[in-house]
Structure formats: C-alpha cells, structure tokens
Structure 1
C-alpha cells in the first residue's frame, strides 16, 4: 500500500472539528487530555491527540457504541506483549475494527499498515484502519484470499 494524500483511498475525516470537544487541562508543565473510554487523564502526546479525536469521531459521528470500544488493549502477538490503539467489537463482541494511530507528522506508509496487520494476527478483524489524524486508510480483509481491499469510508458499526 502506497499512501498519498491525493490517493482516492486517503480519507480526510476532518478530525480537527472535534478538538473543542476534548477535555484538556494543564498539570505541572504538561497538558493532559481526558479519555472518556479509559476514564482517566493522559499526557497529551501527538499520537494520543489523534486517538482521542478518532474516538470522538467514532462515537459522535459514526454512532459506534462506546461500550464496544477498547483503547490500548493488551494482546499477545507471537508470544510478545503488544497493545492495540483502538479495537472495536461488533454486537456479538467479535473484534470488528482495529485502528493503529500515529502522530500527525508520521507518514502512513506500508510499514504502518503492516504493523496493524501484525497486531491483527490473533484478532482477525474484518476491517483495519490506520490514521495520523490528517489522513486515514481503511482496508477490508479477505482472509480466504489472503488479500485486502481499500475502502472509501469508515465502516458502519
């Protein structure tokens, strides 16, 4: 997958419009953001900013059920401990959508997609998504054909 903002598959979710809805505070010399899923304050790093904006988009615009979303969930991949950025479950509590978040200045390369696919190994979600907040890519996974198809939008929950 070659990513390019001019690609027809590069999705601009306009996440910046959710910035004013984030709960942000200053603590010491650092800014913190409140994660409504984890119900705690976190240091506001660039990747965390993208993660929180995406959560607002998924819940408020896409109407995903917040009770079916996990953030930084631990899992074992080939015996190694890893964490998923965002994992969403369907109504039957099967993994549905795995999202890998990157800081806005990190380009979305084939390597980023491979990282998400690697984390997906034990999960076998039907959809993978990568995002740096400026652009996002969604792929529908075909496990039988061992292939994927890029999508033009985030899947409905």
Structure 2
C-alpha cells in the first residue's frame, strides 16, 4: 500500500438544482460531486502536481467493452499513446477488497496494461504486471 499526500488545490464547486457540482478541468465540464468523484478529482491533482504526469495523457471515465457490457474506467494513463495504467477510484468509506481488485482485473482483460492502481483516497494499491500475474509495488511508477 502507498500512502500519498494530496496537494492543495482550489477546486471549483457550486450548487445547482439542489446538487453539488465540481468543475473537472480535464474534461472541461461540471460533474456531480459524488464521494467517488471527490477521490477521483484529488487523485487527478496528485497525478498532475506531484507525479507531474502530462494532462494530455490522462483519460477520465474512458469507456471500454467487457463482452456485451460497456464499462467506464475512472482514469487511464497513456504512455506514447498506448494505455499504460488503469486507475479505479472508490469513495473513501469503501474498503479495497478482493471484489474491488476483481473489478479492475476485469478492466485489464479488456485493456491490458502494465500497471493497475486502486484507491479509495486513503489507501492506494499499485500492481505491476509480471509474466503471468501481478505483484504489488510500493512506489508510483514514473
């Protein structure tokens, strides 16, 4: 598990029709401020400010095909225009269990990448693809 410190950021938040919205700078639009979205927005700022990952190589809620189902990956990082890492965000009170790991492994079947990341804001697990399995790593790959 990796413990990360989220950088301070002045999020744009507004209320509209009884709902809280947050401005997603990556998607350039207002989105519903759910507990999961709060984790996603903070993690994006971590990627941009701390890791210095280029915004142009980050996709938010990218749709993928899982058999007959269409699902959305929370965050996909690209390297040289090729998917490099899938990041699954859960709200802060959702424990990261085998079930949540299973979800991101399903995404990996549809979009094989070298790295998988799972976070609930408090905890971050990163897994690196080996020959025929995954191993947990203790630092964010650069």
TM-score scaled to structure 2, two decimals?
0.95
Q: Which runs of 5+ in 2 are unaligned?
A: none
Following TM superposition, the consecutive aligned residue runs of length 4 or more in structure 1 with deviations greater than 4 angstroms are: none
Between Structure 1 and Structure 2, which shows a larger proportion of strand residues? 2
Do residues 14 (structure 1) and 5 (structure 2) align? yes
Query: In the alignment, which of 58, 61, 66 is matched to residue 72 of structure 1?
Result: 61
SS in 2 for 1:21: coil
Do residues 84 (structure 1) and 80 (structure 2) align? no
Q: Distance in 2 between matches of 1:21 and 1:101?
A: 20
Q: Which runs of 5+ in 1 are unaligned?
A: 1-9
Residue correspondences, number: 142
User: Which digits, 9 at most, give the CA deviation of each residue in 1:82-139, with x for residues without a partner?
Assistant: 110000100x211111000000000000111110010111211100000000111000
TM-score scaled to structure 1, two decimals?
0.86
RMSD of aligned residue pairs (Cα, Å):
1.1
